[in-house]
Structure 1
Amino acid sequence: MTALHHSAGIVHSARTVAGLLLADLPERWRHTAGVARQAAKVSRAASPADVDYLLAAAWLHDVGYAPSLRGFGFHPLDGARYLRAHGWPSRISSLVAHHSEALTVAEVRGLGSELAAFPRERSAASDALTFADQTVGPGGRIMSVDERLADMLRRHGPDSPNAAVHPPRAAQIRAAARRVKHRLAAEALPARYAPEAEGPLLFPVTANAVPGARSEIRAAADVSHLRTGDPDCGDRDEFADQR
Protein backbone atom coordinates (compact mmCIF):
# COMPACT_ATOMS: atom_id res chain seq x y z
CA MET A 1 0.00 0.00 0.00
CA THR A 2 1.12 3.51 -0.66
CA ALA A 3 1.15 6.11 2.07
CA LEU A 4 -1.59 8.68 2.37
CA HIS A 5 -0.27 11.63 0.37
CA HIS A 6 -2.10 14.33 2.32
CA SER A 7 -3.59 13.88 5.77
CA ALA A 8 -6.85 15.48 4.67
CA GLY A 9 -7.01 13.71 1.30
CA ILE A 10 -9.15 10.79 2.35
CA VAL A 11 -11.49 13.07 4.32
CA HIS A 12 -11.95 15.30 1.28
CA SER A 13 -12.68 12.25 -0.89
CA ALA A 14 -15.18 11.00 1.69
CA ARG A 15 -16.98 14.34 1.76
CA THR A 16 -17.09 14.45 -2.04
CA VAL A 17 -18.44 10.92 -2.42
CA ALA A 18 -21.04 11.40 0.31
CA GLY A 19 -22.25 14.64 -1.21
CA LEU A 20 -22.69 13.03 -4.60
CA LEU A 21 -24.35 9.86 -3.39
CA LEU A 22 -26.76 11.74 -1.14
CA ALA A 23 -27.49 14.51 -3.65
CA ASP A 24 -31.15 13.48 -3.91
CA LEU A 25 -31.57 13.10 -0.14
CA PRO A 26 -31.12 16.62 1.25
CA GLU A 27 -32.32 15.83 4.77
CA ARG A 28 -29.93 12.87 4.97
CA TRP A 29 -27.12 15.08 3.65
CA ARG A 30 -27.77 17.70 6.33
CA HIS A 31 -27.65 14.96 8.95
CA THR A 32 -24.39 13.68 7.47
CA ALA A 33 -22.78 17.13 7.48
CA GLY A 34 -23.89 17.59 11.08
CA VAL A 35 -22.37 14.26 12.09
CA ALA A 36 -19.09 15.24 10.42
CA ARG A 37 -19.07 18.50 12.38
CA GLN A 38 -19.79 16.70 15.64
CA ALA A 39 -17.06 14.16 14.89
CA ALA A 40 -14.61 17.02 14.37
CA LYS A 41 -15.63 18.59 17.66
CA VAL A 42 -15.03 15.41 19.64
CA SER A 43 -12.02 14.23 17.63
CA ARG A 44 -9.71 14.85 20.61
CA ALA A 45 -11.38 11.86 22.22
CA ALA A 46 -9.63 9.70 19.62
CA SER A 47 -5.96 9.10 18.93
CA PRO A 48 -4.45 11.67 16.55
CA ALA A 49 -3.61 8.81 14.20
CA ASP A 50 -7.30 7.90 14.07
CA VAL A 51 -8.81 11.31 13.33
CA ASP A 52 -8.81 10.95 9.53
CA TYR A 53 -10.50 7.55 9.83
CA LEU A 54 -13.09 9.05 12.16
CA LEU A 55 -13.87 12.04 9.94
CA ALA A 56 -13.97 9.99 6.74
CA ALA A 57 -16.32 7.47 8.36
CA ALA A 58 -18.49 10.31 9.65
CA TRP A 59 -18.97 11.63 6.12
CA LEU A 60 -19.62 8.15 4.73
CA HIS A 61 -21.65 6.53 7.51
CA ASP A 62 -25.03 6.95 5.79
CA VAL A 63 -24.15 6.58 2.10
CA GLY A 64 -25.97 3.25 2.18
CA TYR A 65 -29.22 5.22 2.04
CA ALA A 66 -28.44 6.23 -1.55
CA PRO A 67 -30.97 4.51 -3.84
CA SER A 68 -28.20 3.44 -6.21
CA LEU A 69 -26.49 1.51 -3.41
CA ARG A 70 -29.54 -0.33 -2.16
CA GLY A 71 -28.88 -4.05 -1.89
CA PHE A 72 -29.91 -5.58 1.41
CA GLY A 73 -31.97 -2.54 2.36
CA PHE A 74 -29.91 -2.02 5.53
CA HIS A 75 -27.87 1.13 5.12
CA PRO A 76 -24.81 0.28 7.29
CA LEU A 77 -24.31 -2.92 5.30
CA ASP A 78 -25.09 -1.46 1.88
CA GLY A 79 -22.75 1.46 2.53
CA ALA A 80 -19.92 -0.74 3.79
CA ARG A 81 -20.21 -3.07 0.80
CA TYR A 82 -20.00 -0.12 -1.59
CA LEU A 83 -16.91 1.24 0.16
CA ARG A 84 -15.20 -2.15 0.14
CA ALA A 85 -15.98 -2.59 -3.56
CA HIS A 86 -14.45 0.81 -4.34
CA GLY A 87 -11.16 0.30 -2.55
CA TRP A 88 -11.68 2.27 0.65
CA PRO A 89 -9.52 1.21 3.60
CA SER A 90 -11.06 -1.74 5.37
CA ARG A 91 -11.11 0.16 8.63
CA ILE A 92 -13.39 2.84 7.19
CA SER A 93 -15.80 0.34 5.65
CA SER A 94 -15.90 -1.49 8.99
CA LEU A 95 -16.56 1.69 10.96
CA VAL A 96 -19.43 2.43 8.59
CA ALA A 97 -20.74 -1.14 8.83
CA HIS A 98 -20.89 -1.09 12.63
CA HIS A 99 -21.71 2.55 13.39
CA SER A 100 -24.19 3.16 16.19
CA GLU A 101 -24.29 -0.50 17.20
CA ALA A 102 -25.68 -1.60 13.85
CA LEU A 103 -24.98 -5.27 14.55
CA THR A 104 -27.81 -5.45 17.08
CA VAL A 105 -30.28 -4.37 14.39
CA ALA A 106 -28.65 -6.53 11.70
CA GLU A 107 -29.09 -9.66 13.79
CA VAL A 108 -32.82 -9.18 14.27
CA ARG A 109 -33.13 -8.51 10.53
CA GLY A 110 -31.31 -11.75 9.72
CA LEU A 111 -28.25 -9.93 8.39
CA GLY A 112 -25.84 -10.61 11.23
CA SER A 113 -23.56 -12.90 9.23
CA GLU A 114 -23.39 -10.45 6.33
CA LEU A 115 -22.42 -7.58 8.62
CA ALA A 116 -19.95 -9.79 10.48
CA ALA A 117 -17.92 -9.97 7.27
CA PHE A 118 -16.67 -6.54 8.33
CA PRO A 119 -14.43 -6.63 11.42
CA ARG A 120 -16.06 -4.92 14.35
CA GLU A 121 -14.00 -2.23 16.02
CA ARG A 122 -14.37 -1.11 19.61
CA SER A 123 -12.16 1.90 20.08
CA ALA A 124 -12.13 5.58 20.92
CA ALA A 125 -12.72 6.30 17.22
CA SER A 126 -15.78 4.04 16.98
CA ASP A 127 -17.16 5.56 20.18
CA ALA A 128 -16.70 9.06 18.76
CA LEU A 129 -18.47 8.09 15.54
CA THR A 130 -21.41 6.68 17.50
CA PHE A 131 -21.53 9.79 19.69
CA ALA A 132 -21.53 12.06 16.62
CA ASP A 133 -24.28 10.07 14.89
CA GLN A 134 -26.40 9.87 18.01
CA THR A 135 -26.27 13.60 18.78
CA VAL A 136 -27.44 14.80 15.35
CA GLY A 137 -31.00 14.26 14.25
CA PRO A 138 -32.63 14.26 10.83
CA GLY A 139 -31.91 17.50 9.04
CA GLY A 140 -28.78 18.14 11.09
CA ARG A 141 -30.38 19.31 14.33
CA ILE A 142 -28.21 18.81 17.42
CA MET A 143 -29.92 16.56 19.95
CA SER A 144 -29.06 14.78 23.16
CA VAL A 145 -28.51 11.03 22.96
CA ASP A 146 -31.81 10.41 24.74
CA GLU A 147 -33.66 12.73 22.36
CA ARG A 148 -32.09 10.99 19.38
CA LEU A 149 -33.02 7.54 20.63
CA ALA A 150 -36.60 8.63 21.30
CA ASP A 151 -36.81 10.20 17.85
CA MET A 152 -35.53 7.00 16.26
CA LEU A 153 -38.25 4.95 17.98
CA ARG A 154 -40.90 7.42 16.86
CA ARG A 155 -39.75 7.37 13.23
CA HIS A 156 -39.22 3.63 12.91
CA GLY A 157 -42.26 2.60 14.89
CA PRO A 158 -42.89 0.20 17.79
CA ASP A 159 -42.85 -2.90 15.59
CA SER A 160 -39.57 -2.14 13.81
CA PRO A 161 -36.32 -4.08 14.17
CA ASN A 162 -34.87 -0.97 15.84
CA ALA A 163 -37.57 -1.08 18.50
CA ALA A 164 -37.07 -4.82 19.02
CA VAL A 165 -33.44 -4.33 20.07
CA HIS A 166 -33.81 -0.89 21.60
CA PRO A 167 -32.95 -1.67 25.26
CA PRO A 168 -29.56 -3.33 24.65
CA ARG A 169 -28.67 -1.05 21.74
CA ALA A 170 -29.56 2.09 23.67
CA ALA A 171 -27.47 0.91 26.62
CA GLN A 172 -24.45 0.38 24.36
CA ILE A 173 -24.91 3.77 22.68
CA ARG A 174 -25.17 5.55 26.04
CA ALA A 175 -22.06 3.75 27.25
CA ALA A 176 -20.14 4.92 24.17
CA ALA A 177 -21.31 8.49 24.77
CA ARG A 178 -20.13 8.34 28.39
CA ARG A 179 -16.71 7.12 27.30
CA VAL A 180 -16.39 9.99 24.81
CA LYS A 181 -17.35 12.55 27.44
CA HIS A 182 -14.91 10.99 29.91
CA ARG A 183 -12.04 11.19 27.39
CA LEU A 184 -12.85 14.79 26.53
CA ALA A 185 -12.97 15.70 30.22
CA ALA A 186 -9.61 14.01 30.72
CA GLU A 187 -8.17 16.04 27.87
CA ALA A 188 -9.68 19.24 29.34
CA LEU A 189 -9.08 20.95 26.00
CA PRO A 190 -11.45 22.85 23.70
CA ALA A 191 -12.83 21.02 20.72
CA ARG A 192 -10.63 21.20 17.67
CA TYR A 193 -11.88 23.21 14.72
CA ALA A 194 -11.48 21.07 11.64
CA PRO A 195 -12.32 23.00 8.48
CA GLU A 196 -11.92 19.87 6.39
CA ALA A 197 -14.81 18.34 8.29
CA GLU A 198 -17.04 21.37 7.93
CA GLY A 199 -16.10 22.47 4.45
CA PRO A 200 -18.09 24.62 2.05
CA LEU A 201 -20.66 21.97 1.05
CA LEU A 202 -23.93 23.30 2.42
CA PHE A 203 -25.87 21.24 -0.09
CA PRO A 204 -24.88 18.19 -2.12
CA VAL A 205 -22.98 18.77 -5.34
CA THR A 206 -24.37 17.07 -8.40
CA ALA A 207 -22.29 15.76 -11.24
CA ASN A 208 -23.67 18.43 -13.56
CA ALA A 209 -22.91 21.29 -11.18
CA VAL A 210 -19.20 21.47 -11.94
CA PRO A 211 -17.62 21.16 -15.40
CA GLY A 212 -15.63 17.95 -15.65
CA ALA A 213 -17.08 16.66 -12.38
CA ARG A 214 -17.83 13.17 -13.61
CA SER A 215 -14.16 12.27 -14.00
CA GLU A 216 -13.52 13.74 -10.55
CA ILE A 217 -16.34 11.62 -9.13
CA ARG A 218 -14.85 8.46 -10.56
CA ALA A 219 -11.47 9.37 -9.07
CA ALA A 220 -12.98 10.23 -5.70
CA ALA A 221 -15.00 7.03 -5.51
CA ASP A 222 -11.92 4.84 -5.85
CA VAL A 223 -9.50 5.76 -3.09
CA SER A 224 -7.23 2.73 -3.18
CA HIS A 225 -4.34 5.09 -3.90
CA LEU A 226 -5.02 6.89 -0.62
CA ARG A 227 -4.90 3.86 1.62
CA THR A 228 -2.68 4.20 4.62
CA GLY A 229 0.39 2.08 5.11
CA ASP A 230 -0.36 1.55 8.80
CA PRO A 231 -0.28 -2.24 9.28
CA ASP A 232 -2.54 -1.94 12.33
CA CYS A 233 -5.44 -0.20 10.65
CA GLY A 234 -7.88 -3.09 10.75
CA ASP A 235 -9.85 -4.77 13.49
CA ARG A 236 -9.33 -3.19 16.91
CA ASP A 237 -10.89 -3.96 20.23
CA GLU A 238 -10.06 -1.65 23.10
CA PHE A 239 -13.14 -2.58 25.09
CA ALA A 240 -13.41 -6.37 24.82
CA ASP A 241 -13.93 -6.55 28.57
CA GLN A 242 -17.04 -4.37 28.25
CA ARG A 243 -18.97 -6.60 25.83
Structure 2
Amino acid sequence: MPPRAAFLASASPPAETARARLVALYGDTPPEEADVIVALGGDGFMLETLHRFMGHAKPVYGINRGSVGFLMNAYHEADLPQRLADAQAATLHPLRMVALDVNGTTHEALAINEVSLLRETRQAAKIRILVDGRERLAELSCDGVLVSTPAGSTAYNLSAHGPIVPLSANLLPLTPISAFRPRRWRGALLPAEARVVFEVLEADKRPVAAVADFTEVREVVRVEVREDREVTLTLLFDPDHGLSERVIAEQFTV
Protein backbone atom coordinates (compact mmCIF):
# COMPACT_ATOMS: atom_id res chain seq x y z
CA MET A 1 0.00 0.00 0.00
CA PRO A 2 1.54 3.35 -1.02
CA PRO A 3 2.20 5.87 1.75
CA ARG A 4 -0.55 8.41 2.36
CA ALA A 5 0.78 11.86 1.52
CA ALA A 6 -0.20 15.36 2.60
CA PHE A 7 0.78 17.96 -0.01
CA LEU A 8 1.83 21.38 1.28
CA ALA A 9 3.03 24.27 -0.87
CA SER A 10 4.69 27.62 -0.35
CA ALA A 11 2.88 30.75 -1.49
CA SER A 12 4.78 30.92 -4.80
CA PRO A 13 2.82 30.26 -8.04
CA PRO A 14 5.11 27.39 -9.17
CA ALA A 15 4.64 25.60 -5.85
CA GLU A 16 0.88 26.11 -5.75
CA THR A 17 0.52 24.93 -9.37
CA ALA A 18 2.59 21.83 -8.65
CA ARG A 19 0.49 21.03 -5.58
CA ALA A 20 -2.74 21.28 -7.58
CA ARG A 21 -1.39 18.92 -10.25
CA LEU A 22 -0.08 16.35 -7.74
CA VAL A 23 -3.29 16.40 -5.71
CA ALA A 24 -5.27 15.83 -8.90
CA LEU A 25 -3.08 12.82 -9.70
CA TYR A 26 -2.68 11.24 -6.28
CA GLY A 27 -5.27 12.74 -3.96
CA ASP A 28 -4.51 14.43 -0.66
CA THR A 29 -4.53 13.34 2.98
CA PRO A 30 -4.89 15.67 5.97
CA PRO A 31 -1.45 16.16 7.58
CA GLU A 32 -2.51 14.61 10.88
CA GLU A 33 -3.53 11.39 9.06
CA ALA A 34 -0.70 11.26 6.51
CA ASP A 35 2.27 8.89 6.54
CA VAL A 36 4.50 11.48 4.88
CA ILE A 37 4.45 15.23 4.34
CA VAL A 38 5.30 16.38 0.81
CA ALA A 39 6.61 19.96 0.88
CA LEU A 40 6.62 21.87 -2.42
CA GLY A 41 8.78 24.98 -2.50
CA GLY A 42 12.35 25.92 -1.68
CA ASP A 43 14.69 25.31 1.21
CA GLY A 44 13.02 28.05 3.25
CA PHE A 45 9.65 26.35 2.97
CA MET A 46 11.26 23.04 3.90
CA LEU A 47 12.55 24.61 7.11
CA GLU A 48 9.09 26.04 7.83
CA THR A 49 7.54 22.61 7.30
CA LEU A 50 10.08 20.86 9.52
CA HIS A 51 9.42 23.38 12.28
CA ARG A 52 5.66 23.04 11.88
CA PHE A 53 5.72 19.25 12.26
CA MET A 54 8.56 19.02 14.74
CA GLY A 55 7.59 16.46 17.35
CA HIS A 56 4.98 14.77 15.13
CA ALA A 57 7.37 12.02 13.95
CA LYS A 58 6.30 12.47 10.32
CA PRO A 59 8.96 12.25 7.59
CA VAL A 60 9.09 15.12 5.13
CA TYR A 61 9.79 14.68 1.42
CA GLY A 62 10.66 17.94 -0.29
CA ILE A 63 10.08 18.70 -3.96
CA ASN A 64 11.92 21.69 -5.37
CA ARG A 65 9.70 24.47 -6.65
CA GLY A 66 12.03 27.19 -5.39
CA SER A 67 15.54 28.25 -6.29
CA VAL A 68 18.46 26.37 -4.68
CA GLY A 69 16.61 23.32 -3.40
CA PHE A 70 19.51 21.83 -1.44
CA LEU A 71 17.08 20.05 0.90
CA MET A 72 14.66 19.12 -1.88
CA ASN A 73 14.18 16.42 -4.51
CA ALA A 74 13.71 17.08 -8.21
CA TYR A 75 10.20 17.80 -9.45
CA HIS A 76 8.66 14.94 -11.39
CA GLU A 77 4.96 14.17 -11.48
CA ALA A 78 5.23 10.52 -12.52
CA ASP A 79 5.45 7.61 -10.08
CA LEU A 80 5.45 9.74 -6.94
CA PRO A 81 4.05 6.95 -4.70
CA GLN A 82 6.93 4.70 -5.74
CA ARG A 83 9.44 7.47 -5.16
CA LEU A 84 8.07 7.94 -1.66
CA ALA A 85 8.23 4.20 -0.99
CA ASP A 86 11.85 4.01 -2.21
CA ALA A 87 13.05 7.19 -0.53
CA GLN A 88 16.00 7.08 1.86
CA ALA A 89 15.82 8.77 5.25
CA ALA A 90 18.22 11.31 6.73
CA THR A 91 17.92 11.91 10.46
CA LEU A 92 18.66 15.34 11.88
CA HIS A 93 18.78 16.82 15.38
CA PRO A 94 18.20 20.56 15.83
CA LEU A 95 20.10 22.99 18.02
CA ARG A 96 18.38 24.31 21.13
CA MET A 97 18.97 27.98 21.88
CA VAL A 98 18.39 29.40 25.36
CA ALA A 99 18.82 33.18 25.24
CA LEU A 100 18.72 35.62 28.14
CA ASP A 101 17.91 39.23 27.26
CA VAL A 102 18.77 42.49 29.06
CA ASN A 103 15.43 42.43 30.89
CA GLY A 104 16.15 39.04 32.45
CA THR A 105 13.68 37.17 30.22
CA THR A 106 14.67 33.72 28.95
CA HIS A 107 13.75 32.68 25.40
CA GLU A 108 14.02 29.16 23.95
CA ALA A 109 13.93 28.13 20.30
CA LEU A 110 15.09 25.31 18.04
CA ALA A 111 17.26 25.72 14.95
CA ILE A 112 17.61 23.24 12.11
CA ASN A 113 20.27 25.29 10.29
CA GLU A 114 22.09 27.46 12.80
CA VAL A 115 21.99 29.74 15.82
CA SER A 116 23.66 33.06 15.06
CA LEU A 117 24.52 36.13 17.11
CA LEU A 118 24.54 39.38 15.16
CA ARG A 119 25.44 42.97 16.04
CA GLU A 120 22.44 45.32 16.08
CA THR A 121 24.24 48.63 15.50
CA ARG A 122 27.21 50.10 13.64
CA GLN A 123 29.58 49.03 16.41
CA ALA A 124 31.18 45.60 16.41
CA ALA A 125 29.87 43.06 18.89
CA LYS A 126 32.15 41.83 21.65
CA ILE A 127 31.46 38.27 22.70
CA ARG A 128 33.05 35.87 25.19
CA ILE A 129 32.91 32.19 24.18
CA LEU A 130 32.81 29.25 26.58
CA VAL A 131 32.64 25.58 25.62
CA ASP A 132 31.50 23.08 28.27
CA GLY A 133 32.07 25.67 30.97
CA ARG A 134 35.64 26.51 29.92
CA GLU A 135 36.54 29.87 28.46
CA ARG A 136 37.91 29.41 24.96
CA LEU A 137 37.90 33.00 23.73
CA ALA A 138 37.91 35.90 26.19
CA GLU A 139 36.78 38.45 23.62
CA LEU A 140 35.72 38.10 19.99
CA SER A 141 35.21 41.44 18.25
CA CYS A 142 33.02 40.75 15.21
CA ASP A 143 29.85 41.28 13.24
CA GLY A 144 28.63 38.03 14.78
CA VAL A 145 29.23 34.35 15.39
CA LEU A 146 27.23 31.19 14.73
CA VAL A 147 26.90 27.53 15.62
CA SER A 148 25.65 25.31 12.81
CA THR A 149 24.21 21.84 12.49
CA PRO A 150 25.90 19.56 9.92
CA ALA A 151 22.87 19.95 7.65
CA GLY A 152 23.08 23.72 8.03
CA SER A 153 26.82 23.84 7.45
CA THR A 154 26.22 24.45 3.73
CA ALA A 155 23.98 27.46 4.41
CA TYR A 156 24.91 30.65 6.34
CA ASN A 157 27.90 28.85 7.86
CA LEU A 158 29.42 28.26 4.42
CA SER A 159 28.77 31.86 3.38
CA ALA A 160 30.68 32.93 6.51
CA HIS A 161 33.60 30.73 5.33
CA GLY A 162 32.89 27.98 7.84
CA PRO A 163 33.62 24.31 7.08
CA ILE A 164 31.14 21.92 5.50
CA VAL A 165 30.52 19.03 7.88
CA PRO A 166 29.29 15.55 6.79
CA LEU A 167 26.16 14.39 8.61
CA SER A 168 27.93 11.41 10.16
CA ALA A 169 30.80 13.46 11.59
CA ASN A 170 29.03 14.32 14.89
CA LEU A 171 30.58 17.78 14.79
CA LEU A 172 29.22 21.31 15.09
CA PRO A 173 30.94 24.19 13.27
CA LEU A 174 31.53 27.32 15.38
CA THR A 175 32.17 30.13 12.89
CA PRO A 176 32.85 33.85 13.33
CA ILE A 177 31.14 36.37 11.07
CA SER A 178 33.57 39.08 9.90
CA ALA A 179 35.90 38.74 12.89
CA PHE A 180 37.94 41.88 13.64
CA ARG A 181 39.85 40.60 16.68
CA PRO A 182 41.37 38.06 16.83
CA ARG A 183 41.67 38.68 13.10
CA ARG A 184 43.07 35.28 12.16
CA TRP A 185 40.63 33.17 14.16
CA ARG A 186 38.58 31.12 11.69
CA GLY A 187 36.40 29.21 14.13
CA ALA A 188 36.37 25.67 15.49
CA LEU A 189 34.84 22.24 15.05
CA LEU A 190 33.18 21.04 18.25
CA PRO A 191 31.87 17.64 19.35
CA ALA A 192 28.14 17.31 18.78
CA GLU A 193 27.53 17.03 22.53
CA ALA A 194 29.33 20.31 23.30
CA ARG A 195 27.53 23.07 25.19
CA VAL A 196 28.46 26.50 23.82
CA VAL A 197 27.80 29.67 25.79
CA PHE A 198 28.13 33.18 24.35
CA GLU A 199 28.35 36.09 26.78
CA VAL A 200 27.79 39.53 25.28
CA LEU A 201 30.28 42.11 26.54
CA GLU A 202 29.30 45.78 26.78
CA ALA A 203 25.72 44.78 25.94
CA ASP A 204 24.34 48.27 26.60
CA LYS A 205 26.79 49.89 24.18
CA ARG A 206 27.05 47.04 21.67
CA PRO A 207 23.64 45.31 21.51
CA VAL A 208 23.45 41.85 19.97
CA ALA A 209 20.54 39.81 18.57
CA ALA A 210 20.34 36.01 18.65
CA VAL A 211 18.61 34.15 15.82
CA ALA A 212 17.58 30.49 15.73
CA ASP A 213 16.30 29.90 12.18
CA PHE A 214 13.11 32.03 12.25
CA THR A 215 13.19 33.12 15.90
CA GLU A 216 15.00 36.36 16.73
CA VAL A 217 15.69 37.66 20.24
CA ARG A 218 16.96 41.23 20.54
CA GLU A 219 19.42 42.63 23.09
CA VAL A 220 20.68 39.34 24.48
CA VAL A 221 23.33 39.11 27.21
CA ARG A 222 23.85 35.36 27.29
CA VAL A 223 23.07 32.60 24.78
CA GLU A 224 23.51 28.86 25.32
CA VAL A 225 23.50 26.48 22.35
CA ARG A 226 23.53 22.68 22.32
CA GLU A 227 22.30 19.89 20.09
CA ASP A 228 18.96 18.52 21.25
CA ARG A 229 19.10 14.75 20.77
CA GLU A 230 15.58 14.35 22.15
CA VAL A 231 14.18 15.95 19.00
CA THR A 232 14.50 13.96 15.77
CA LEU A 233 13.64 15.14 12.27
CA THR A 234 13.40 12.83 9.25
CA LEU A 235 13.93 14.04 5.69
CA LEU A 236 13.35 11.75 2.71
CA PHE A 237 15.47 11.77 -0.44
CA ASP A 238 15.50 9.87 -3.70
CA PRO A 239 18.09 7.04 -3.79
CA ASP A 240 21.62 8.18 -4.74
CA HIS A 241 20.65 11.81 -4.08
CA GLY A 242 20.58 11.73 -0.29
CA LEU A 243 21.58 14.56 1.99
CA SER A 244 24.93 12.99 2.93
CA GLU A 245 25.88 12.76 -0.74
CA ARG A 246 24.86 16.38 -1.31
CA VAL A 247 26.93 17.59 1.61
CA ILE A 248 29.99 15.75 0.26
CA ALA A 249 29.39 16.95 -3.32
CA GLU A 250 29.07 20.55 -2.12
CA GLN A 251 32.71 20.43 -1.01
CA PHE A 252 33.78 19.90 -4.64
CA THR A 253 31.60 22.65 -6.08
CA VAL A 254 33.66 25.41 -7.67
TM-score range, shorter chain: under 0.3
**Which structure shows the bigger proportion of residues in helix conformation?**
1
Larger-Rg structure: 2
TM (normalized to structure 1)?
0.27
TM (normalized to structure 2)?
0.26
- More contact order relative to length (CA 8 Å, sep ≥ 6): 1
**Which structure shows the bigger proportion of residues in strand conformation?**
2
